[in-house]
Chain A
Amino acid sequence: MAIPIIVQIRWRPNADESSIGCSRIGQAVAPNKTWQSHRGCSDDGHLQLGATDRVEDLPSTPGTYRVIEIDFSVFNDGRGYSLARQLRTQYQYAGELRATGDIRIDQADMLARCGFDTLELPADTDMAQLETAINAITVHYQADVQLGSGSVS
């Protein structure tokens, strides 16, 4: 199987709504190369978390990692969205937050809104389709991690 690509999300804020730009920034590291283990930290400051990991159990404060990856073993398991929100809002984690595993382009906007800024996607991802999907909804009721307040929270 082709090695997945890494896509960077760029917010383009406007007055009332925001669009998102997507650009391919590289390839994913081949699996099992640098990771020590789940919850382990690799040499280059990457931390990998799975759905059952909890932010309060991290070996050191989130800010010490350059990249935190949250893995989705199956696309309809939503735990990673809450982990991302906790890291961004409660732990003020400012490094790179990457979504890996089974994620689909129709989920990209909500991943972004929860604070992910890079997505690991299949090598054959259609970038134009991704950009359409991620910008399908630009008006939001809720506060977003990057944008702050929505209309009700």
Chain B
Amino acid sequence: MYIYNEPDRALLAQRTEQFAGQVNRYLAGELAEDEFQQLRLRNGLYMELNAPMLRVAIPYGLLSSGQLRALARVARTYDRGYGHFTTRQNIQFNWPKLEQVPQLLADLSQVEMHAIQTSGSVVRNITSDPLAGVAADEIEDPRPWCELLRQWSTLHPEFNWLPRKFKIAVTGARNDRAAVRFHDIGLQVVDEAGPNTVFRVWVGGGLGRSPFMGQVIHERLPGTQLLNYVEAILRIYNLEGRRDNKHKARIKILVNALGIDVFKVKVDSEWALIQKVQPGLSGEIVEQMRAHFVESRYDPSAPGKSGRLTFDCDRNADFARWVAHNTTLHRVPGYRIIYASLKAPGAAPGDLGAKGMEALAGFAERYSFGEIRVSHEQNLLLAHVREADLYDLWQGLRIHRLATPNIGTLTDMICCPGADYCSLAHASSLDVASMINQRFDDLDHLYDLGDISLKMSGCINACGHHHLGHIGILGVKKRDEHWYQLTLGGAPGNDGAIGKRLGPAFAADEIVEALEQVLRAYLAWRRPRERFIDTWRRLGNTPFKEAVYGDTHHRTDTLAA
């Protein structure tokens, strides 16, 4: 992974001190509320219901074991002993005190971590494929490009006051696991590129109140022009994005108002001017960056020892089930990628306590080159585990309740913190998650339901990406009560689609029953081995609507709001 050099460390130290100064000036009454709000947001600090919430950046979801241990110390020292991993591969702490945040950040800076640009109208954390560098379908490791984008976008003087937040995702694989079509800018390495990296560039995707799938603005952008081209897009957005209404300020609104063709003409002409003064990235810089991400510690004798995996699976059905659901093939023979599930029954999805973090850091050091990854689905991955070590690792994970074999199933749900923590949320999401876990606690039933992504957001801001769930649940507020809408048919990847709303919302005590009706309809209508999403694509919302709403007249009467 990328290791900081002297300028990186100096910059982070200065930024940490700068922010501490801003907090102190605010506490001393020398900074106006409106100004401090903008300054703290640019450093990940929200003022939430119970306390400040601090979002710490995990660039493209990659952590060292030392960093994870430091997060555990932060959870213990400044929080109530846990953290919440987010859909953008970051971690949030919900209970720090404002006066302690500067020291917290100083502690984190010792392990090269920070909260720079994790909120505010700036370029946010660059996200990527959690399987970067290990996936079999990868064309090129996207992380060197992510790191170049991270550095370039960090404290960029021109783009610190954009109309609204700006999210960039990068994938280097054939199957998009980074949802590049649903970001302000999505970058996908194009196949058959020869020796030089070429990107397909998507622009104007996003979720929230007006969900849009991104559109392709450049089919074959040379990697050496990546920063110049992103600069051109950001400059046009900075100058022309709407600032009169924050709900219409994202780039997706601009792109759709102008039309992609007009937007592209503007970007291209700006790009041409930029190229006259900035030639682009040198091949040398790109090569230096690539060298940080080359993994060469694999044990050549690993495949020869993999027989133990078959042996262990034969003698232990629980282990075999975990291997089948929570591990996936690595491109190096004899190795596997394993998922530590943060979706144990009763746990808030994405939450992990300090003990769990430290345990996982230890497992990473013992079994996976000291490296941990955060997935968009809010699980943690150990990406390089020898097959012969899986049984020992599984036993360790079980002790810490990190081995629930539910990856990819209904209970591996994505969920925002909801109204219990977030001042934006309209409805509680964690209560519903817990009810779903109770209702669907039978593993065989979960496996029978197969691959299903359930994504839940506590409000229309869509942090839980409900639009992209095969099944989405959106919390809304009606007459001061929490209600829940179902959407079906969303998907984040190559088959990207925005889910369709099924019908009127459900009360908190009805939503789980409604979900069960949807799943019963699926079981009734599915063809052999057909996944939920494929059944839905074949049949659409209608049969599900009938199953859920039954006597539609009655439901419409009682639920009309």
Given contacts A82-B239, A141-B155, A143-B278, list 16 more A-B pairs with CB under 8 A.
A76-B121, A78-B158, A78-B161, A81-B160, A81-B161, A82-B158, A85-B158, A106-B35, A110-B157, A111-B157, A137-B15, A139-B7, A140-B11, A141-B11, A142-B156, A152-B152
With a cutoff of 8 Å between Cβ atoms, the chain B residues found around residue A86 in the complex are 235, 273
Q: 5 tightest A-B contacts by CB?
A: A78-B161, A113-B157, A110-B157, A136-B18, A139-B11
Cβ-defined contact, B14 with A139, below 8 A: yes
Cβ-defined contact, A79 with B148, below 8 A: no
With a cutoff of 8 Å between Cβ atoms, the chain A residues found around residue B161 in the complex are 75-78, 81
Interface flags for B148-190 (1: CB within 8 Å of A; 0: not) read: 1001101111111110000000000000000000000000000
Interface flags for A21-39 (1: CB within 8 Å of B; 0: not) read: 0000000000000000000
Interface flags for B101-126 (1: CB within 8 Å of A; 0: not) read: 00000000000000000000100000
Decide yes or no whether B304 CB sits under 8 A from chain A: no
Smallest CB–CB gap between A53 and chain B, Å? Answer: 10
Cβ-defined contact, A79 with B14, below 8 A: no
Contact of B18 among A17, A89, A137, A152 (CB under 8 A): A137
Q: Complex formed: what's the CA distance from A152 to B10 in Å?
A: 16
Known: A78-B160, A81-B158. A137 touches B14 (CB 8 A): yes
Interface flags for B30-41 (1: CB within 8 Å of A; 0: not) read: 000001001100
Decide yes or no whether A66 CB sits under 8 A from chain B: no
Q: Complex formed: what's the CA distance from A78 to B274 in Å?
A: 19
Q: Complex formed: what's the CA distance from A16 to B21 in Å?
A: 24
With a cutoff of 8 Å between Cβ atoms, the chain A residues found around residue B243 in the complex are 77, 79
Smallest CB–CB gap between A4 and chain B, Å? Answer: 17
Q: Complex formed: what's the CA distance from A26 to B338 in Å?
A: 65
Decide yes or no whether A54 CB sits under 8 A from chain B: yes
Q: Complex formed: what's the CA distance from A33 to B35 in Å?
A: 30
Interface flags for A122-148 (1: CB within 8 Å of B; 0: not) read: 000000000010001111111110000
Contact of A106 among B39, B228, B276 (CB under 8 A): B39
Number of interface residues of A (CB under 8 A): 36
Decide yes or no whether B227 CB sits under 8 A from chain A: yes
Cβ-defined contact, B11 with A137, below 8 A: yes
Q: Complex formed: what's the CA distance from A142 to B158 in Å?
A: 10
With a cutoff of 8 Å between Cβ atoms, the chain B residues found around residue A81 in the complex are 157-161, 238
Smallest CB–CB gap between A113 and chain B, Å? Answer: 4
24 A-B contacts (beta carbon < 8 Å):
A76-B38, A77-B161, A81-B159, A81-B160, A82-B158, A82-B239, A85-B158, A85-B235, A90-B276, A106-B39, A111-B157, A114-B157, A114-B158, A136-B18, A140-B155, A141-B152, A141-B154, A141-B156, A142-B152, A151-B7, A152-B281, A152-B285, A153-B278, A153-B281
With a cutoff of 8 Å between Cβ atoms, the chain A residues found around residue B154 in the complex are 141
Smallest CB–CB gap between B89 and chain A, Å? Answer: 21
Contact of A136 among B21, B159, B227, B281 (CB under 8 A): B21
Decide yes or no whether B22 CB sits under 8 A from chain A: yes
With a cutoff of 8 Å between Cβ atoms, the chain A residues found around residue B273 in the complex are 86, 90
Q: Complex formed: what's the CA distance from A123 to B239 in Å?
A: 30
With a cutoff of 8 Å between Cβ atoms, the chain B residues found around residue A109 in the complex are 157
Decide yes or no whether B277 CB sits under 8 A from chain A: yes
Smallest CB–CB gap between B42 and chain A, Å? Answer: 10
Identity of the chain B residue whose Cβ is nearest the Cβ of A109 in the assembled complex: B157
Q: Complex formed: what's the CA distance from A75 to B37 in Å?
A: 12
Number of interface residues of B (CB under 8 A): 39
Decide yes or no whether B431 CB sits under 8 A from chain A: no
Smallest CB–CB gap between B231 and chain A, Å? Answer: 8
Cβ-defined contact, A139 with B10, below 8 A: yes
Q: Complex formed: what's the CA distance from A143 to B151 in Å?
A: 12
B 1-32 contacts with A by CB, 8 A: 7, 10-11, 14-15, 17-18, 21-22
With a cutoff of 8 Å between Cβ atoms, the chain A residues found around residue B38 in the complex are 75-76
With a cutoff of 8 Å between Cβ atoms, the chain A residues found around residue B238 in the complex are 78-79, 81-82
Contact of B239 among A79, A106, A110, A143 (CB under 8 A): A79
Smallest CB–CB gap between A77 and chain B, Å? Answer: 6
Cβ-defined contact, A106 with B159, below 8 A: no
With a cutoff of 8 Å between Cβ atoms, the chain A residues found around residue B274 in the complex are 89-90
Q: Complex formed: what's the CA distance from A78 to B241 in Å?
A: 11
Smallest CB–CB gap between A92 and chain B, Å? Answer: 9
A 85-106 contacts with B by CB, 8 A: 85-86, 89-90, 104, 106
Smallest CB–CB gap between A151 and chain B, Å? Answer: 6
With a cutoff of 8 Å between Cβ atoms, the chain A residues found around residue B228 in the complex are 153
Cβ-defined contact, A82 with B157, below 8 A: no
With a cutoff of 8 Å between Cβ atoms, the chain B residues found around residue A114 in the complex are 157-158
Cβ-defined contact, B277 with A90, below 8 A: yes
B 198-241 contacts with A by CB, 8 A: 227-228, 231, 235, 238-239
With a cutoff of 8 Å between Cβ atoms, the chain B residues found around residue A17 in the complex are 10
Identity of the chain B residue whose Cβ is nearest the Cβ of A77 in the assembled complex: B243
Contact of B227 among A113, A137, A139, A152 (CB under 8 A): A152
Contact of A16 among B7, B14, B152, B159 (CB under 8 A): B7
* Of listed B15, B235, B239, B274, residue having the most chain A CB within 10 A: B239
Smallest CB–CB gap between A61 and chain B, Å? Answer: 15
Known: A78-B238, A82-B235, A141-B11. A151 touches B22 (CB 8 A): no
Identity of the chain B residue whose Cβ is nearest the Cβ of A81 in the assembled complex: B158
Known: A75-B35, A85-B158, A141-B154. A136 touches B121 (CB 8 A): no
Identity of the chain A residue whose Cβ is nearest the Cβ of B11 in the assembled complex: A139
Smallest CB–CB gap between B20 and chain A, Å? Answer: 10
Q: Complex formed: what's the CA distance from A49 to B152 in Å?
A: 28
Q: Complex formed: what's the CA distance from A153 to B281 in Å?
A: 7
With a cutoff of 8 Å between Cβ atoms, the chain A residues found around residue B227 in the complex are 152-153
Smallest CB–CB gap between A150 and chain B, Å? Answer: 8
Contact of A152 among B148, B276, B277 (CB under 8 A): B148
With a cutoff of 8 Å between Cβ atoms, the chain B residues found around residue A113 in the complex are 157
